[in-house]
Structure 1
C-alpha cells in the first residue's frame, strides 16, 4: 500500500523517480522498489517523504485518508462558533451512519 501512495503522490506532484531520489539521497531504482512494494522504506525515509509531499505519516502508511490533518484543522480555525457547531453535528451524523 505504501508503494502505491508514494507513486500517487509523486505523480500528483509531477516529478520523476529520479527527482524524488535526488531529494531523498537515494537511487531511482530504490524509489522503484518502494513504488512496486518490493522494499519498504525505513522510518527516516518515511518522514522525509511525508515532509516532501506535505502529508502525515499516517496518510503515507495508509492509516488515514486525510493527507494533512494539521492543515485541515487550521482551515477551520476562523469559523464562527455557530459554524463549528453545525460542522460538529454533521460529523456526528456521519459517524452514526457508519
Structure 2
C-alpha cells in the first residue's frame, strides 16, 4: 500500500513539473512585456540618469538642454547629437528608449 502511494505521489509530481516550467516561462515573458521604456522627449534629467546605462547627471542634463534648445528628438539615434553621447551608449540603451 505504501509503495502504491509513493508511486502515485511520484507520478503526480512528475506530471506537474511541466506546468511549473511553463509558469516560469510565462513570468519571464510578462517581465519582458513590462520592460522599462524611457521617452527621450519627455523624461526628466533624473529619470534619464536613473534608468539609462552610461548616462550620469551631466549627460542627462545635456540631453534635456539639447531637447529644450532644438526641439524633440526625431529618432533614438539623434541622441548622438548630444555632447558626450556616442553610438555605443545609444546601443546599450536602445531597447529602453522611445521618442
Greater strand proportion: 2
Q: What TM-score range do you get, normalising by the shorter chain?
A: under 0.3
Structure-2-length-normalised TM-score: 0.28
Q: Mark the structure with the bigger radius of gyration.
A: 2
TM-score (ref. length: structure 1): 0.28
